[in-house]
Amino acid sequence: MIPLAASGEITGASGVAPRIEAMLPIGVRRRQLKVRTLLAGMCLAQADHRPAHLTRVHRALTRLSEDDQVRLDILADWKGRPHRLTYRQTERTFGLVVAALAKDEPDGLPSGDLAGICDSLLEATIPGEFKDASASLAVDWTDLESFSRPPPHGTSDCADPEASWGHRKNNLLRTQDELFYGWYLSAGIMMRDEGGPAVPELARRATVSSCRLDPVRAFAPALTAMPGQGIPPGDILSDSGYAHRDAAAWAIPLRAGGAQLVQDLHPHDRGPKGTHQGAVISNGSLYCPQTPRPLLELGPLARTATTDQGTDHDRKTAELAVLRTASSAASPATTTTATTASSAPPPRARSAARSAPHR
């Protein structure tokens, strides 16, 4: 379990509590439960692997030592008598915070204020000695099942109407995806730069989006906002699910912010096939889309080949080598990653470990 002091340091360093307090309405009576105390209770409940119920948050706060309860106003003086925080007061403060950070018209994505709060909290969890140790991130998304039961067919009447039906991989012996009702959780995890020192794999950015929305497009704004927050972009490692998007959804905005993409080609783009303004991978090497198909289909020379066939094979091999892209020519012959939206990405002065996370 994470001690109370650690969660207090994170919420204090993030500076989110005063920002949220400024958004809340001012009542006639002073609220006993402050936002910073509420956040600490949420951290305590989650760190102890408890279900994310508001009753668990209240229980975690009221079970602290008496000194901590007095310091956090969980046990406060009320008309000359000690008063312990009630669940109704916890529910009231939580409801005000939710209303302040929610959108007027819910659409399955967090509001700008909520996204900024989450970014600040996650950034505050990175120890100071590692904040500048690496600029590389490995990104991926996963399924996050909702607490709510799905609504009846043809309706949206349920406890979590912004959630939606989504697809996830399963470990069963079949190729079909499994349906679930909930959200997609996208995260950017710190990775060491290629040739750089080892760093802890800490989550630096994350977001949750409804399954009816593209998780790649939902997560891109969190990464493109990092340069404005004083965090220079580095290598972004991802799997083929990110490569198989139109360039305006992922590659173009991230490259415009200075990021370098290291991602697998989608299976639909592998072999002698070209992507839109992209690259082709064949026999472990990258080629321009204009490479003639007969050259891409060039395979190993048969043992029974004649001298003339060997000479012709050597000629085609030499011709194919000329058509290799600049990035693949500077890489080992076994390179298996490429990026979309550019036939020849600019050379990198620093690159991260060439491995992307897999779900």
The whole-number pLDDT of residue 2 equals 65
Q: What is the pLDDT of residue 280?
A: 61
Query: What local confidence, expressed as pLDDT, does residue 283 receive?
Result: 58
Rounded to whole angstroms, the Cα distance separating 166 from 20 reads 32
The answer to whether residues 146 and 183 touch, using CB atoms and an 8 Å cutoff, is yes
Q: Which of left, alpha, beta for 353 (phi over 0: left; psi -120 to 50: alpha)?
A: beta
In the prediction, which pLDDT does 302 show? 83
CB 191 within 8 A of CB 136: yes
| Domain ranges within the chain, ordered by starting residue | 4-101, 117-260, 267-329
Closest CA to 85 of 70, 100, 65: 70
Q: What pLDDT score was predicted for residue 144?
A: 92
- The dihedrals phi and psi of 139, each to the nearest 5 degrees, come to -115, 150
**Ranges in the chain, pLDDT < 70:** 1-2, 171-175, 265-293, 295-297, 323-359
Q: What is the pLDDT of residue 331?
A: 40
For the entire predicted model, the pTM comes to: 0.72
Residue 334 has phi, psi (to 5 degrees) of: -95, 10
What pLDDT shows up at residue 282? Answer: 60
Instruction: Note the pLDDT of residue 339.
Output: 39
pLDDT computed for residue 349 by the predictor: 39
In total, the chain counts a number of residues equal to: 359
Residues 6+ apart with CB under 8 A from 78: 32
